Amino acid sequence: MAQTQNSKTDLGGRFTLPGTSLTLNRLGYGAMQLAGPGVFGPPRDKDGALAVLREAVSLGVDHIDTSDFYGPHVTNRIIREALHPYPAELTIVTKIGARRGEDKSWPAALSKAELTSAVHDNLRNLGLDALDVVNLRMSAGHHHPVDGPIEEPLDTLVELKQRGLVRNIGLSHVTAGQVQAARAITEIVCV
């Protein structure tokens, strides 16, 4: 089917995040690869990265999955440069709970200070006053979820939500037990 310049592509239907008024297309844009090789440093083609984001939104992508540890800080700055001020219908979903080492590693960053700093980094680099959805990533540095306590890091994220810096909380790279424990603490809008 031919697209007209201003038409929107069907992106797999729409769904509403539980407990929210956020209704999104099933297909969003994962911004991880906007950073350089190995998700580290600047992209080889920054103008191309900016163009991809603008085209994705023009075709109907209404949510972007990102993190300030991509780059680090690179991906969110590219998103801001390409799309700020953001269209009202765009939802940005970010994640915290890891950082990037100078050796390109992905160490966990789950202390209260690290999580609070990560939320502020995301806000600053995206140019936002509040984050629509923040996913707490629990298994940084691992290729699979690793069971462990979720209560303390999640309590920090709940506190940041109460302060108005985070609107909704999700989880990333977690076990079924961590999902169950998290749901006993707060509403989880996505996993």
The per-residue pLDDT for range 67-124, each reduced to its tens digit, is 999 999 999 999 999 999 999 999 999 999 999 999 999 999 999 999 999 999 999 9
Element of type H or E holding 162: helix 151-162
In-domain check, residue 96: yes
Specify the pTM.
Answer: 0.91
In-domain check, residue 8: no
Domain total in the chain: 1
The Cα-based distances of 106 to 62, 90, 140, 164, 173 in angstroms read 28, 28, 6, 28, 13
Which pLDDT does position 139 carry in this prediction? Answer: 87
Query: Cα(22)–Cα(91) distance, rounded to whole angstroms?
Result: 8
Query: Cα(45)–Cα(120) distance, rounded to whole angstroms?
Result: 27
Burial class (CB in 10 A: 0-12, 13-18, 19+), 129: exposed
Catalytic annotation present for 29: no
In-domain check, residue 23: yes
Q: Which of 29, 52, 65, 70 is catalytic?
A: 70
Task: Give residue 178's identity as a one-letter amino acid code.
Answer: Q
In-domain check, residue 24: yes
In-domain check, residue 9: no
Q: Return the bridge partners of 15, or none.
A: 24
Sign of CA dihedral 64, 65, 68, 72: negative
Quick one: pLDDT band at residue 140, thresholds 50, 70, 90? confident
In-domain check, residue 191: no
Quick one: pLDDT band at residue 9, thresholds 50, 70, 90? low
In which domain, by residue range, is 99 found? 14-183
Residue 71: CATH number of its domain = 3.20.20.100
In-domain check, residue 64: yes
In-domain check, residue 128: yes
